[in-house]
Amino acid sequence: MVSKSLLSDANRRLERARPDARISDEALARLRQPRSSLKVTIPVRMDDGSLAIFPGYRVRYDSTRGPAKGGIRFHPKVDVDETTTLAFWMTFKTAVVDLPFGGGKGGVCVDPKRLSVTELERLSRGYIAAVADAIGPDTDVPAPDVATNELVMGWMADEYAKILRKAVPAVITGKPLALGGIPGRSSATSDGAFHVIRVLGDELTGGVSEPRVAIQGFGNAGAQLAQSLADEGYWVVAVSDSSAAVHDPGGLDVTALRKHKSDTGSLADPPSGSEMDDPEELLTLEVELLVPAALEGAIHKDNAELVRAHSVVEVANGPVTGEADDILDERGVEVIPDILANAGGVTVSWFEWIQNRQGDRWTEDTVSTRLRKRMEKQTEAVRAIAGESDVPLRNAAWILALERLGEAMDATGTESLFGRSRS
């Protein structure tokens, strides 16, 4: 989970990009703090008749470019610092893919595994009742995150409708299709990452004809990306989940592994490849692409020296720590930052929000075409900055986001009237 040190890690990337970004000091100063930070308590009647009280949070980090956007996390380590860090990240993610959104995040400090389904429903509804004044289609639009899913979003949308006494589907994204959700949401993150990889092509793979890929995390995002890359002719040589890591230097049968994972719930006893003795070794395999798609902090200062990949694509949020990022930078390993690589998810959330506001139903084709175009265009924009400023792609993504945020902030201010301008 994200901690205070990850907040400073996130700031570290911003500071690294800052010298090359055209952004005023005032805009930068505004970006150092969240706009608003709400702490609530949520009383929940438990199934045994007792009352439990859970702390919850909703942070609106910035909304200059549009309503804040970001998920709601249910986890025992949720606190205001973690929520603020995640909202900060969302601010840059929505800017780098040029969505008309700012950044927000919410969460409840709870172990959801200890709750029954009915307790979980009461908690989800209680959270919305507690933060209802702070959210809305034009102010702050939540979505799923760790341990919150379609079902939870459905309860939350319903609770908001009860409070306002009218249906307001655009208040929250990631809803079930029947309540105004959008087709293609479940593959959006992996599809987005796939488009980024395809556009950057040889820059990431060094131009080899059959690039090798290792993916840590064979869940929703990682397994679907493995399939797309295998279908495209990449050699997926290793994948892992929390139970096992599977390796075959000649290329794994990804379809068989996905079926096995869906049938048995894990990668153990795989039908293709063999289990690695030490799953951590997946991170140090000689491959063209290493894709951490599981947890934060997977690549850290103690293992970054061992990474032998040509490039790292951050599909998880924050899988490379700031210290590790410095080490990889010195060693010439390209890192595609999470704010670009996993932005497909929030992009399709934006489509859901538009669809709900239009009172429309989008088809899966419309979603996938518009996602591909947006990811291609914004990845090209990042590549152009890397070329113009002669900086790595990781910095270029932050520069692009910083400049977009700075431009919007300056447009709302009066600094230029005093003869001051952007540096």
Binding site for ligand NAD (CB under 6 A): 189, 216-222, 240-242, 279, 293-295, 315-317, 342, 345
On whether the CB atoms of residues 331 and 320 are closer than 8 A, the answer is: no
**Structure-token pair, residue 115:** 């709750």
DSSP 182-216: -TT-TTHHHHHHHHHHHHHTHHHHTT-SS-EEEEE
Q: Which is nearer to ligand NAD, 64 or 342 (CB)?
A: 342
On whether the CB atoms of residues 318 and 3 are closer than 8 A, the answer is: no
Residue whose CB is nearest to ligand NAD in the complex, by number: 219
Q: Are strands 103-109 and 140-144 parallel, antiparallel or unpaired?
A: unpaired
Q: How far is the CB of 349 from ligand NAD (least distance, A)?
A: 9
Q: Which is nearer to ligand NAD, 21 or 196 (CB)?
A: 196
On whether the CB atoms of residues 65 and 102 are closer than 8 A, the answer is: yes
Write down the residue that tokens 């990668």 correspond to: 267
Q: How far is the CB of 164 from ligand NAD (least distance, A)?
A: 27
Catalytic residue among 69, 93, 105, 175: 105
Q: 263-267: long-range contacts (C-beta < 8 A, 24 or more apart)?
A: 266/241, 266/242, 267/218, 267/239, 267/240, 267/241, 267/243
On whether the CB atoms of residues 86 and 73 are closer than 8 A, the answer is: yes
Please tell me the distance from the alpha carbon of residue 16 to that of residue 398, in angstroms, as a whole number. 9
Q: How far is the CB of 418 from ligand NAD (least distance, A)?
A: 41
Q: Which is nearer to ligand NAD, 1 or 179 (CB)?
A: 1
Please tell me the distance from the alpha carbon of residue 374 to that of residue 101, in angstroms, as a whole number. 15
Q: Which is nearer to ligand NAD, 143 or 391 (CB)?
A: 143
Q: Which residues neighbour 328 within 8 Å (Cβ) at sequence distance 6 or greater?
A: 299, 304, 307, 312, 320, 335
| CB neighbours of residue 380 within 10 Å | 11
The burial of 303, by beta-carbon neighbours within 10 Å (0-12 exposed, 13-18 middle, 19 or more buried), is given as middle
Q: Which residues neighbour 301 within 8 Å (Cβ) at sequence distance 6 or greater?
A: 321, 323, 324, 327
Catalytic site includes residue 162: no
CB burial of 256-275 (b: ≥16 within 10 Å; e: otherwise) equals ebbebbeeeeebeebebbee
Amino acid at 40: V
**Structure-token pair, residue 2:** 């994200």
The burial of 342, by beta-carbon neighbours within 10 Å (0-12 exposed, 13-18 middle, 19 or more buried), is given as buried
Q: How far is the CB of 19 from ligand NAD (least distance, A)?
A: 28
Catalytic residue numbers, as ranges? 105
